[in-house]
Amino acid sequence: MASLIFLSTFCQRGIRPVLLCHTHLSRGLVAYQKNRDIEAFHLAAGRIHTTSAHCTVSNSRAASKHWTGERVLSIVLLGMAPAAYLCPSPLLDYSLAAALTLHGHWGIGQVLTDYVHGDAKVKLAKAGVLLLSTATFFGLCYFNYHDVGLCKAVTMLWQI
């Protein structure tokens, strides 16, 4: 992403990246744009897949907070694993159910962002991930309520 911002800085100054518009690698990495019209760059940049359809300043702040949230959740999960083994409790069971489901939802969402293209396919894939995550969370909660719980189940698996 930083390289795209760097390349767009060149494009605003009148230099156009060749790799975005042409497949001729023999000309070098950048070519001087004689007129300062950057329409060609916008047409070429439309072919580049970015993670967000609308890249604005407010979305970059939200993306930064989302990224921070993902990292915090990963670190919390690292702490929850030994806690679940050392002191299992229903509170920890339900916390694990929520954290694991959210972690999986965000991870699969990133894979879909990278590999699913087309408006209808993206909407269908996101709906499928939401349905899968909802079913996973309710399934884990059902398991916690009607069975031994996640912490005790993992302990029982390790004893086999």
d(CA 22, CA 141): 53
Q: What is the pTM of this model?
A: 0.61
49 is in an annotated binding site: no
pLDDT tens per residue across span 65-100: 989 999 999 999 999 988 988 999 999 999 999 999
Residues sharing a CB contact under 8 Å with residue 11, sequence separation 6 or more, in sequence order:
17, 33, 38, 41
The predicted pLDDT at position 6 comes to 45
Domain boundaries, the chain: 89-158
24 is in an annotated binding site: no
- Structural domain 89-158, CATH architecture: Up-down Bundle (1.20)
* DSSP conformational letter for 112: H
Bridge-partner residues for 15, per DSSP? 32
The predicted pLDDT at position 57 comes to 54
Stretches where the chain sits below pLDDT 50 are 1-11, 13, 15-38, 41-42, 44-46, 48-50, 54
